[in-house]
Structure 1
Amino acid sequence: MKRIMTVLSLSALLVIPTTGGNVLASESNELSLERNVTENYEVDFEKWPTSDLSSEIELSVNVYTNSFSSQGFDFKSLATGKTKLSSSDSEVKSTGKTKGKTLSTVVSATTGLFKDGESLGESDKAIAIGKLTATAEKSYFSNKWKKNKFEGVTVHTATYDGVLYDDATADKFVK
C-alpha cells in the first residue's frame, strides 16, 4: 500500500510541472504578442496638441462583465502615465513614466522635449511588462537661457488582449 502511494505521488509530481509549463508558455506567447504590438507602434508627437494635455492620465478599457451580481461593462485600469519636466543650471529634462496596472499588459513611454515649439528630440521607447514602470528620459543641455518655453510630452501606451491603447501627458515651464 505504501508503495502504491509513493508511485501515485511521483506520478502526480511528473504531471504537474508539465501542465504548469504549458500554462506559462501560453502566457508567455500572449505577452510576446503584446510586446510586438507595443514595439511596432510609431510615436507621432504631432498627434498630441500640448494645450489639451494634463500631466497625468489613466489608460483604461471597457470590459464586459457577466457575474451573478452585475452584468454589463466595467472599466479596467490598464496603466497610469505622467510627465515631469525638471531643470538645473545647465539642463532641462523631460521624464515620462507609464506604470502597468495588470499582469497581462505591456506598457511603454516615449518622451519628447520641445523648446519654443521646436523639437529637441525624443527618447527611446521604454517598455515594461505587467505592473512594472516604463521610464523614458530626454535631456537638453545649455549654459545660456533666455526665457525659453520648454515642454515635455510623453506618449503612453498599454497593450492588452492584442489591442494597443495610447494617450499622452505634458508638462511645461519657462526657463
Structure 2
Amino acid sequence: MKKKFISSMGVALLASAAITTGVGAAESNGEDVTKTEKYSINWESEWEKAEDYGDTVEFGNSNSTSEGEFQAAASSWGSLSTGKTDVASNYITGAVSSTGTSKGKIYTTVTSATTSLKNTSSGYTVNGSKSTAIGKFTAESTAEMGGVFNTVYSGLTIHTATDSGVLYEARTLDSVLHY
C-alpha cells in the first residue's frame, strides 16, 4: 500500500512538472514566433557586405547572437539550426532561382529563411518572402527571375533561429553562371 502511494505521488509529480514545462515552452515559443516575424532585413546593406559567406551554415550558439549576449543554455545544445542557399539555372525555361532553407535542430526553436537573388552584372535583385518554421521543420524561401545569357547570379539568404527569446542570425551565399 505504501509503495502504491509513493508511485502515485511520483506519477502526479512528473505529470505536474511536464504540464508546467509545456506551458512555459508554449509561452516562450509564442514570444519567439513574434520576434522572428518582426525581424526585418535591409537588403541593400546585406548585399554590400555579402562576399565571404559559404552556401551552408550551422548556427545558433553563444558565439552568434544578434545582440552579442552569452547564452549558456543555447551553447549547451550546440547549434539550433542549419541554413543553406542553392542557386539554380534552368537552361530550358531560362529562369534562375535562389532557394534558401533554415531547418531547426531543437523542438523549441523558431527558424526563418528569407532569400534574395541578384543579377551581378546589372545589380537587379528579386527578394523572396520570409518563411518561418517551428521545431525541426524547414523554412523555405524562393526568389526567381529570367536569366540573361553568360551572367552570374548570386543568392543570399538571411537565416534566423529564435529560442528562449534570443534571436540568432546567419547568412549563406551561392552563385551560378547562367548560359
* TM-score, structure 2 normalization: 0.76
Tell me the percent identity.
Answer: 31
Q: Greater strand share, 1 or 2?
A: 1
Please tell me the residue identity of whatever aligns with 1:151: S
Do residues 92 (structure 1) and 96 (structure 2) align?
yes
Tell me how far 1:21 sits from its aligned partner.
4.9
CA distance in 1, matches of 2:60, 2:160: 11
Aligned CA distance change for structure 1 residues 21 and 75 (closer, same or farther; 3 Å):
closer
CA distance in 1, matches of 2:138, 2:61: 19
Aligned residue number for residue 76 of structure 1:
78
Mark the structure with the bigger radius of gyration: 1
Uncovered stretches (5+) of structure 2, i.e. residues with no partner: 63-70
Deviations 1:88-114 (A, max 9, x none): 132111000101011111100000010
Aligned residue number for residue 118 of structure 2:
114
Contact 2:89 2:176 in 1 (8 A): no
Aligned residue number for residue 25 of structure 1:
23
Report the RMSD for the aligned CA atoms in angstroms. Answer: 2.6
Aligned residue number for residue 101 of structure 1:
105
Please tell me the residue identity of whatever aligns with 2:99: T
CA distance in 1, matches of 2:58, 2:124: 25
Aligned residue number for residue 166 of structure 1:
169
CA distance in 1, matches of 2:150, 2:50: 19
Matches within 5 A, 1:105-144: 105-116=109-120, 118-141=123-146
Please tell me the residue identity of whatever aligns with 2:103: K
Please tell me the residue identity of whatever aligns with 1:32: G
* TM-score, structure 1 normalization: 0.77
Deviations 1:20-61 (A, max 9, x none): 555433321110000001000011232352321110111131
Aligned CA distance change for structure 1 residues 106 and 119 (closer, same or farther; 3 Å):
farther
CA distance in 2, matches of 1:31, 1:75: 17
